[in-house]
Amino acid sequence: MPMDQNTLTLSEEDMRKLGYQMIDAIVAHHKTQHEKRPLALASREEMDSLFLEEAPEKPSNANEVLEFVVEKVLTRSTLLSHPKSYAFVPGPSNYVSVIGDALATGYNIFSGSWVTSPAAAELEIVTIQWLLRLFGLPKKKGGGIFTSGGSMANLTALATARNIKCGDDFSKAVIYLSDQTHSSNIKAIRILGFKKEQIRIIPTDNEFKLSLNKLKNCIAKDRLNGLHPFCLIGNAGTTNTGSVDPLTQLSKICKEEDIWFHIDGAYGGAAMLSPKGKKLLKGISKADSLTVDPHKWFFQPYEMGCLLVRNYRHLTHTFTERPEYLKDIEGNTSEINFYDLGVQLTRRFNALKFYMSVKTFGLNAFRKAIGSGIDLAERLEAHLRQSKQWQVVFPATLAVINFRYHPIEENLSESQLDELNHFISEQVMESQLALLATTSLHDQVVLRMCLINPRTTWEDIQHTLTLCEAFAKQSSLWASP
Ligand SMILES: *Cc1c(COP(=O)(O)O)cnc(C)c1O
């Protein structure tokens, strides 16, 4: 293949050939994904034997490299966009955004400052405004930034909270979160230099919602001890059960106590687009900062997270530096430099995919897709409640449902039920036919489905349940008396 070694370029013809080959592979994948196995299982040894080599000094044929990648690499990756990927929070994605991402990369837009791309900055402003409006945050004073994901959005939020509420001295600062809060928040708190003694993990109630009384007691005690309660993290959809903390009451406490109210809506926030979700998420508009994760339930490909804030100046106050080498591109204040709003200077043009997909499908398509996930989980709940073999452990909430195999005729102990459900998940995973994991609720091992993929059908779910039932029969529990 003719290529210019000195400039790292290909001829026009070869560029097209390679590009079409790639697009054909992606389209074929999108059209056949549901027939594939969602799970890739491989040991380090197997992967090493396929891929481990020294960096090649000599060139290879680009089409062959691509073919190798499509055949060997992409076939050995778990597909979180697969309709039978129920575990964690899947990433359903959508094809229009894939094209948006390809364009952003193809043009290699630097989306850090106004001067380097006014249109990229403007599209980020516009799409952030769409989201501010959706979540009822102030459109004029509010603001936000796209990040690599929810973890980075939470980190950005907590850095902002610390700066605004504590300034430089955070030695007495205390932060509150529930025992269901996503681990990325604890990670962020540690990165920011807080000690263990400054973190209060508040127990949740039976519905996995942060307990208001326990929170109030904890804050009062900390004040008595001369400490400085500065931030509370509320959940708008916990990863485990989809539970939403009592956001309105929490916001009142925060207001009274002068505490920053961060809400982690990484997975659940998007449900604002559906009537049922909007009802559950009442109070979300009271956040000082809010994490949402477009690469989850807004159907964007990885990586795309988002932080929204009530007051845009809180971000600039926290993240603005003025080095001499960026002086020429500072511009005027209405022309936003996103490097002033977060951690990254160089940023990919993430807003483009979001913009293109909403423009193409229309917001109403997103509303329907999100609503259908919520409905599907509710339908599954109703189905399981009718069954003598299945038990709903926690009802469908924001498209998440927790349940376990529990044949009522069998009189199994709790530990046997744990073992059985572990076994079912293990077997399903080993079969690679579905990505179905367990979680632990009130010390019970349960199966968990997160049904946010609009291409997951009722038949997919039935097929998976049948599979589980077949594996359950193979359990060693039945072997000996
Ligand atoms: C997924 C998730 C995160 C982390 O987001 P990433 O995009 O994986 O970094 C944080 N909080 C919640 C509630 C999540 O579901």
- State the pLDDT at residue 334: 84
Print the domain residue range for 472. Answer: 364-478
3-state DSSP: the chain helix, strand, coil percent, rounded to 5?
50, 15, 35
SS in 3 state form for 393-407?
EEEEECCEEEEEECC
Judge if 329 and 428 occupy the same domain: no
| Cβ(135) – ligand 1 distance below 6 Å | no
Q: Ligand 1: which residue has its CA nearest to atom 2?
A: 266
Q: For residues 294 and 137, is the Cβ–Cβ distance under 8 A?
A: no
Question: Does the beta carbon of 283 sit less than 6 angstroms from any atom of ligand 1?
Answer: no
Residue nearest to atom 13 of ligand 1 (CA): 266
The residue whose CA is least distant from atom 6 of ligand 1 is 150
Please answer whether residues 256 and 265 qualify as being in contact, where contact means their C-beta atoms are separated by less than 8 angstroms: no
Residues 398, 268: one domain? no
Q: What is the pLDDT of residue 272?
A: 98
Instruction: Collect all residues with Cβ–Cβ distance below 8 Å to 365 and sequence separation of at least 6.
Output: none
175 token code pair: 């932060």
Query: Is there a single domain that holds both residue 369 and residue 354?
Result: no
| Cis before 303 (ω within 30) | yes
Cβ–ligand 1 contact at 239 (below 6 Å): yes
**Helix (H/G/I), strand (E/B), else coil: 154:** helix
Using the mean position of ligand 1's atoms as its centre, give its distance from the Cα of residue 350 in Å. 17
The answer to whether the CB of 265 is under 6 A from ligand 1 is no
User: Are 294 and 374 members of one domain?
Assistant: no
Asked if 192 and 281 sit in the same domain, the reply is yes
How far CA 424 is from CA of 79, 86, 355, in Å, comes to 20, 14, 41
For the chain, the domain total comes to 2
Per-residue pLDDT tens for 417-469?
A: 999 999 999 999 999 999 999 999 999 999 999 999 999 999 999 999 999 99
Q: pLDDT 10s digit of each residue in the chain, 481 long? A: 567 889 999 999 999 999 999 999 999 999 999 999 999 999 999 999 999 999 999 999 999 999 999 999 999 999 999 999 999 999 999 999 999 999 999 999 999 999 999 999 999 999 999 999 999 999 999 999 999 999 999 999 999 999 999 999 999 999 999 999 999 999 999 999 999 999 999 999 999 999 999 999 999 999 999 999 999 999 999 999 999 999 999 999 999 999 999 999 999 999 999 999 999 999 999 999 999 999 999 999 999 999 999 999 999 999 999 888 888 877 777 899 999 999 999 999 999 999 999 999 999 999 999 999 999 999 999 999 999 999 999 999 999 999 999 999 999 999 999 999 999 999 999 999 999 999 999 999 999 999 999 999 999 999 999 999 999 999 988 876 5
In a domain, 84, yes or no: no
205 within 8 A of 181, measured Cβ to Cβ: no
Determine the distance separating the centroid of ligand 1 and the alpha carbon of 462, expressed in angstroms: 28
Please give the Cα distance from 401 to 384 (Å, whole number): 11
Q: Residue 130 domain-assigned?
A: yes
Domain CATH for 386: 3.90.1150.170
Q: Quote the CA–CA distance of 127 and 111 in Å, as a whole number.
A: 14
Question: pLDDT tens digits, residue range 285-342?
Answer: 999 999 999 999 999 999 999 999 999 999 999 999 988 888 887 777 789 999 999 9
**412 and 341 share a domain?**
no
Model pLDDT, residue 327 = 82
Q: What is the CATH number of the domain that holds 299?
A: 3.40.640.10
**Per-residue pLDDT at 71:** 97
Is 205 inside any structural domain?
yes
327 with 368, same domain? no
> Do both 304 and 411 map to the same domain?
no
pTM over 0.85: yes
Ligand 1 site, residue 292, Cβ cutoff 6 A: no
Helices (H), 386-457: 414-431
> In this structure, are 370 and 345 located in the same domain?
no
Q: What is the reported pLDDT for 96?
A: 98
Residue 51, domain member (yes or no): no
473 part of a folded domain: yes
Ligand 1 pocket, residue 234 CB under 6 Å: no
pLDDT value at residue 480? 63
Q: Are residues 155 and 280 in the same domain?
A: yes
State the pLDDT at residue 406. 97
Q: How far is CA 18 from the centre of its chain?
A: 32
- Identify whether residues 275 and 336 lie together within a single domain: yes
**What is the model's pLDDT at position 2?**
64
Indicate whether 71 belongs to any domain. Answer: no
Q: Which atom of ligand 1 is nearest to the CA of 267?
A: 15
| Boundary of a domain, candidates 326, 361, 396 | 361
Residue 29: φ, ψ to 5°: -60, -45
Which ligand 1 atom minimizes the distance to the CA of 150? 5
| Closest C-alpha to 88, from 400, 421, 460 | 400
Does 146 contact ligand 1 (Cβ within 6 A)? no
Q: Tell me if 44 is assigned to some domain.
A: no
Q: Ligand 1, atom 10: nearest CA belongs to which residue?
A: 150
Which of 293, 298, 299, 452 for a ligand 1 pocket mutation test, highest count of atoms within 8 Å of Cβ? 293
Q: With contact defined as beta carbons under 8 Å apart, do 215 and 202 qualify?
A: yes
Q: Report the distance separating Cα 143 and Cα 141, nearest Å.
A: 7
Domain boundary among 309, 326, 361: 361
Helix (H) or strand (E) holding 78: none
What CA–CA distance (Å, rounded) separates 404 from 257? 41
**Cα of 186 to ligand 1 centre, how many Å?**
12
334 and 185 within one domain: yes
For ligand 1, atom 14, which residue shows the shortest CA distance?
266
pLDDT for the residue 457: 98
**pLDDT for res 333:** 78
Is residue 234 included in any domain, yes or no? yes
pLDDT value at position 323? 87
Q: Does the beta carbon of 240 lie inside 6 Å of ligand 1?
A: no
Q: Is 400 in the pocket of ligand 1 (CB under 6 A)?
A: no
Domain termination residue (choose one: 341, 361, 381): 361
Choice from 89, 290, 448 to test ligand 1 binding pocket (greatest atom count within 8 A of CB): 89
CA distances from 91 to 10, 255, 267, 456 (A): 33, 35, 10, 12
Per-residue pLDDT, 146: 98
